[in-house]
A and B are shown apart, each in its own frame.
Chain A
Amino acid sequence: MTSGSRPAGQGVLEGKVALITGAASGIGRATALLFGRERAAVALFDRDEAGGREVVRAIEEGGGRALFVRGDVTHDEDARRAVEGTVAGFGRLDILFNNAGIIRRDTLVESSEEDWDRVMAVNVKGVFLMSRLAVPLMARAGGGVIINTASVWGLVGGPRAAAYCASKGAVVLLTKAMAIDHGADKVRVNCICPGDTDTPMLRNEAGMLGEPMDRHMAQAADVPLRRVARPEEIAQAALYLAGDASSFVSGAPLIVDGGFVAS
């Protein structure tokens, strides 16, 4: 590759290999694009093949390296294929971004057991399945970084989101527990707690709540910075945690919420 075809960025992740779950849309997509610009080789894992391949193409057109693995983070075999595919394609794994997540906007009473199980499976067990494969690889390589997408609703409660809050609270504490267990192997584990971000998930919630979109988005923007986040702003937080700039950060929830939980 000539330097002229290199993606524009500062090369913060030069030489690194990143695996991102839920990479076909929203925060995962923005992070895949940013990591690609910062010269990481990026493996994208998602159920949405068309969306994932579109992101791969965009990274490659920018002069970066990317591959796509179709699968579901709740299935161990799929998780295994994602990790093995990453190593087969790029030779190593330095950064795992456990980002795949879903939400259901129901109270505990309204929610079905199937919904509860599905939210927990994607948001929490997916982190477990991916991480247990990645940690030994990283430990053998002398270190690595795991970033989990939690939420501000993993720190404070929200209305009609019981399963989601429970799952994201679990992600925050799983992050801390893993940081304690794997620090000695130089694996840093942190999570991001985004506030409302302009993603397909946020917009889908309007339907789940039966609210008009404009009212839903206006409520989401009711934070000290008076707006919702752009996915790229959450991706910047992931980049900080993925790179050597955060070399002494582990077990920490990084809140990126425009001031939502401060008030």
Chain B
Amino acid sequence: MRLAGKVALITGGTSGIGRATAALFAREGAKVALTGRDEVRGRVVLHEVKSAGSEAIFVRSDVRLADDCRRAVDETIKAFKRLDILFNNAGVFFPHTVPDSSEEEWDQTLDVNLKGTYLMSKFALPHMIAQRSGAIVNNSSGWGLVGGDAAAAYCASKGGVVLLTKAMAVDHGRQGIRINCICPGDVETPMLPEDARQRGLDWDEYLKGAANRPLGRIGKPEEIARAVLFLASDDSSFMTGSALVVDGGGTAD
């Protein structure tokens, strides 16, 4: 149990990578606080996490709103008395070029993916600084390192997450807090078929394209969760400011 006695807060914990990470963290002994906008899905995942034998809470909140972020952190501290790990995972995606992207989509993408990471970290860090320990893991993307087609706002937001990670690592290293990000490639989450639908592409064709990478397949949420576990645990005790690429070799070429 690599997270025994630790308390983790996971945003976007109701589906995909967040959901898989919550379950893995619980199996590794962490107490888990989940956030999400969907109360019903939140309760389902909460049940899963508790079944893994751990204490857990769900806080309905939207990472775009400062009050919600503050409440998510406060509720976590109230329930579990400390905060060791923050996984800034909530993210949205719209498949559009700059001219095709509405201002609303742009704002939503940047607010959820980038400002949400800022807000959650802003409220979590004082607790970690007081403890003189903590690990923050941000969910960036392979498309935070290289450009992708018709994904302008997403690429901008995820590139922002990579550099926000580095800036926070520089600021808070001497306080004993490590901040890293993961850069997943295409992963079997609800985001993927939704992308295919919005692009008007047949799912099989879409999947064939997504699997076109050195390992010849897309990732499983559990494989990304294990990268998050590595960065959240003491196994990565000398890592900070790093971007861990988990993409089946997708950005190696």
Contact = CB atoms under 8 A, between A and B. Distances in A.
Interface in A165-220: 175-177, 179-180, 182-184, 186, 188, 195
Contact of B185 (A248, A255, A258): A248
B224 interface: yes
Nearest to B1: A10
Interface in A227-263: 229-230, 233-234, 236-237, 239-240, 245-263
B219 A248 contact: yes
A240 B242 contact: no
A226 interface: yes
Contacts, number: 135
A225 interface: yes
Interface residues of B, number: 40
Contact of A183 (B213, B220, B245): B213
A259 B252 contact: no
B250 to A, nearest CB: 8
B248 A223 contact: no
Contacts of B219: 248
A201 B232 CA distance: 29
B236 A180 contact: no
Given A184-B214, A224-B173, A262-B166, A249 B237 contact: no
B248 A250 contact: yes
Interface string B218-253: 011001101101100001111111111111110111
Interface in B180-217: 185, 213-216
B169 interface: yes
A109 B74 CA distance: 59
A239 B235 contact: yes
B78 to A, nearest CB: 31
B27 interface: no
A179 B220 CA distance: 19
B31 interface: no
Interface string B151-169: 0000000000000011101
21 contacts: A180-B214, A180-B249, A183-B249, A195-B238, A224-B173, A224-B240, A225-B238, A225-B240, A237-B236, A245-B230, A247-B223, A248-B246, A248-B248, A249-B247, A251-B245, A252-B246, A257-B239, A257-B241, A257-B242, A259-B169, A262-B169
Interface of A: 175-177, 179-180, 182-184, 186, 188, 195, 223-226, 229-230, 233-234, 236-237, 239-240, 245-263
Given A248-B224, A263-B166, 19 more contacts: A183-B216, A183-B248, A195-B238, A224-B169, A224-B170, A225-B173, A225-B178, A237-B236, A237-B239, A245-B229, A249-B248, A250-B252, A251-B245, A251-B252, A252-B245, A256-B236, A256-B238, A256-B239, A262-B242
